[in-house]
DNA sequence: TAACGTATACTATCGTTTAGAGTATGTCAA
DNA sequence: TTGACATACTCTAAACGATAGTATACGTTA
């Protein structure tokens, strides 16, 4: 019953899912692979490990069921689990983070062979297309009334809206970047840099009013765990 | 000299940085904290560990320098390292991935107390503002001609363009989502779901032409390591 | 001139997480 | 009855993160 170990966001992600309805571990792993993968990617084995620990901590109840001779465990959230979940909801979420190897490829451009960076960015667009196709399928599932947790479309629609827009933004950028790269061959580094300055000037973000007195330090919005501040 | 262990993307990120010029480990850790953090976030200790292994594998050369009695090691890429890097550039990049706890918070909305999800999304916007401020500072640094690797603005400008657009997209979404959440109080779940259907219909992604015969399986664009396919 | 705070430059350790393979049972179609 | 595929997990090495700790250098202030 007592919560020994500190819970991770992965714990809460599972508690969240289980707060909506009971699931078997296999189903949870499936949901993770199909949907959660995009916002909170975790290995399949981590799901199995994690629910077991949640059960040990008394935050979820496991019930063995049988399909023929094959057993499976169906979990549901416990009162203690729901309380934990509610407490988590009073803490600020950890900030948006990403891994984008495509950008690493771009950074090596000065020492890459012609075409290598281009190929990487084309791959980025291909991946994006694949994900957009998936998003389109999910959109259609909900429009057809056969989406997962269809009774919560009012929540899920916002998630689909998020992804479609995000993927389009990334794709638009990749297209722009490919356009620029195509010009590199016929321009010197100096010419490219001059052009870059006007691209920079048009980047949709305000520059600081007073010149930053010195190079700002390491960004701080790292991991958080405290409650929301005062108001 | 022989590469025993399989290199990770973290290895290649460091090789990339070292291919542009030599850096001390401390500088590499600093660059990682300041810039790479956003595309390939790794712990400081991981940087120190990794360069040492790259040195052991003969992919980088370390030279001890002294400031008084305090030693530091400055690394530069070796021929073998450059060859490895070039091979990596011939492999497709791993797909874009993210962690977005804010979305997890949204998913629990049906069991959350009023205001909890709203607070989470406001935090998302605050974090975004912070990152946008940082992007603005970096933009100004390059416009002033004092950015890191300023002679490569033609590459770095594209990265700043990426971030500004991405952050704006996330922020716009969060604002839209907050607008929707504000309506929840005065509407039943049925009314919310009805509204969600029209939001869904306007999501900027095409739905599949032929109805997806069955629920599509686990997305495949998982980790890759092979070369680009044929042509 | 001593003390203090901050930046530099790391090392060490422990626990967690991932990737990937492996095991075993059940279902269905050819 | 064989094989493909889905279900339902377990196991392990290597990668990674968090945290603490050590030590030197340098500038400011008391």
**Residues in A 80-99 with any Cβ partner in B closer than 8 A:** 82, 85-86, 89-90, 92-99
Distance CA B217, CA A22 (A): 22
Query: How many Cβ atoms sit within 10 Å of the Cβ of residue B154?
Result: 24
- Report the run of H or E that residue B68 belongs to, with start and end: none
Taking an 8 Å cut-off on Cβ atoms, the answer to whether B218 and A141 are in contact is no
Question: Minimal CA–CA distance to A225: which of A3, A4, A12?
Answer: A12
Does the structure show a pLDDT above 70 at A214? no
Query: How many Cβ atoms sit within 10 Å of the Cβ of residue B10?
Result: 19
3-state SS, chain A, equals CCCCCCCCHHHHHHHHHHHHCCEEHHHHHHHHHHCHHHCCCCCHHHHHHHHHHHHHCCCEEEEEEEECCEEEEEEEECHHHHHHHHHHCCCCCCCCEEECHHHHHHHCHHHCCCCHHHHHHHHHHHHHHHHHHHHHHHHHHHHCCCCCCHHHHHHHHHHHHHHHHHHHHHHHHHHHHHHHHHHHCCCCHHHHHHHHHHHHHCCCCCCCCCCCCCCCCCCCCCCCCCCCCCC
**Given this model, what pLDDT does residue B181 score?**
97
Q: Which residues contact A153 (CB under 8 A, 6 or more apart)?
A: A142, A147, B193, B196, B197, B200
User: Does the beta carbon of A228 lie under 8 angstroms from any beta carbon of chain B?
Assistant: yes
State how beta strands A70-77 and A60-67 pair. Answer: antiparallel
Taking an 8 Å cut-off on Cβ atoms, the answer to whether A154 and B192 are in contact is yes
Distance CA A9, CA A92 (A): 12
Q: Are A158 and B180 a contacting pair, CB within 8 Å?
A: yes
Query: Nearest nt (C1') to B26 (CA)?
Result: C9
- Report the run of H or E that residue B152 belongs to, with start and end: none
User: Does the beta carbon of B35 lie under 8 angstroms from any beta carbon of chain A?
Assistant: no
Min Cα separation A193/chain B (Å): 5
Q: Which residues contact A32 (CB under 8 A, 6 or more apart)?
A: A40, A42, A44, A47
pLDDT band at A69 (very low <50, low <70, confident <90, very high): confident
pLDDT band at B209 (very low <50, low <70, confident <90, very high): confident
Query: Nearest nt (C1') to A71 (CA)?
Result: D8
Distance CA A174, CA A177 (A): 5
Q: How many CA atoms lie within 13 A of B13 on its CB side?
A: 26
Does the structure show a pLDDT above 80 at A191? yes
Question: Minimal CA–CA distance to A196: which of B143, B160, B157?
Answer: B157
**Given this model, what pLDDT does residue B4 score?**
58
pLDDT in tens, B95-125: 999 999 999 999 999 999 989 999 999 999 9
User: What's the mean pLDDT in A93-119?
Assistant: 96
- Beta-bridged to residue A119, according to DSSP, are none
- B45 CA – D22 C1', rounded, Å: 15
**Given this model, what pLDDT does residue A209 score?**
80
Q: Which residues of the protein have their beta carbon within 7 Å of strand D?
A: A 24-27, 29-30, 44-45, 48, 52, 67, 70-73, 223; B 5-6, 8-10, 41-46, 49-50, 67-70, 217
Query: Nearest nt (C1') to B69 (CA)?
Result: D24
- Report the run of H or E that residue B188 belongs to, with start and end: none
**How far is the CA of B214 from the CAs of A147, A161, B126, in angstroms?**
12, 22, 40
**Given this model, what pLDDT does residue B99 score?**
97
User: Does the beta carbon of B49 lie under 8 angstroms from any beta carbon of chain A?
Assistant: no
Distance CA A120, CA A175 (A): 12
User: What's the mean pLDDT in A129-154?
Assistant: 95
Query: How many Cβ atoms sit within 10 Å of the Cβ of residue B190?
Result: 10
Starting at the edge strand found earlier in the chain, the sheet holding B70-77 runs B23-24, B70-77, B60-67
Distance CA A127, CA B169 (A): 19
Average pLDDT, chain B: 91
pLDDT in tens, B55-86: 999 999 999 999 999 999 999 999 999 999 99
User: What's the mean pLDDT in A165-176?
Assistant: 98
Say which DSSP state B208 is in: P
- Which tokens in the block code for residue A47? 């799901």
**Given this model, what pLDDT does residue B90 score?**
96
Distance CA B102, CA B119 (A): 10
**Given this model, what pLDDT does residue A226 score?**
61
Taking an 8 Å cut-off on Cβ atoms, the answer to whether A108 and B123 are in contact is no
**Given this model, what pLDDT does residue A219 score?**
39
**Residues in B 52-71 with any Cβ partner in A closer than 8 A:** none
Question: Minimal CA–CA distance to B146: which of A218, A104, A177, A216?
Answer: A216
pLDDT in tens, B10-51: 999 999 999 999 999 999 999 999 999 999 999 999 999 999
**A45 CB less than 7 Å from any atom of strand C:** yes
Q: Are B73 and B22 a contacting pair, CB within 8 Å?
A: no
pLDDT in tens, B154-204: 999 999 999 999 999 999 999 999 999 999 999 999 999 999 999 999 999
pLDDT over 70 percentage in chain A:
88
CATH class label, A9-88:
mainly alpha
**Given this model, what pLDDT does residue A221 score?**
38
pLDDT over 90 percentage in chain B:
87
Least confident piece of the model among A55-69, A156-170, B26-40, B89-103 = A55-69
């Amino acid at each position: 019953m007592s919560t020994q170990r500190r819970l991770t966001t992965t714990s809460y992600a599972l508690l969240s899912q289980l707060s909506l309805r009971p699931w078997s571990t296999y189903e949870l792993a499936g949901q993770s692979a199909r949907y959660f993968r995009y916002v909170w990617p975790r290995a399949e084995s981590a799901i199995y490990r994690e629910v077991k620990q949640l059960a040990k901590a008394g935050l979820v109840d496991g019930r063995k069921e049988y399909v023929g001779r094959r057993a499976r465990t169906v979990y549901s959230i416990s009162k203690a689990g729901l309380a934990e979940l509610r407490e988590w909801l009073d803490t600020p979420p950890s900030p948006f983070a990403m891994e984008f190897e495509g950008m690493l490829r771009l950074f090596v451009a000065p020492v890459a062979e012609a075409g290598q960076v281009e190929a990487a960015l084309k791959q980025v667009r291909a991946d994006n297309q694949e994900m957009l196709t998936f998003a389109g399928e999910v959109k259609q599932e909900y429009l057809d009334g056969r989406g997962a947790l269809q009774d919560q479309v009012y929540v899920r629609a916002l998630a689909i809206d998020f992804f479609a827009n995000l993927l389009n933004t990334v794709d638009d950028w990749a297209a722009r970047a490919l356009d620029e790269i195509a010009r590199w061959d016929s321009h010197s580094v100096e010419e490219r840099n001059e052009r870059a300055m006007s691209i920079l000037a048009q980047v949709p973000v305000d520059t600081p009013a007073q010149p930053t007195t010195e190079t700002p330090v390491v960004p701080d919005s790292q991991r958080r765990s405290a409650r929301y501040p005062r108001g």
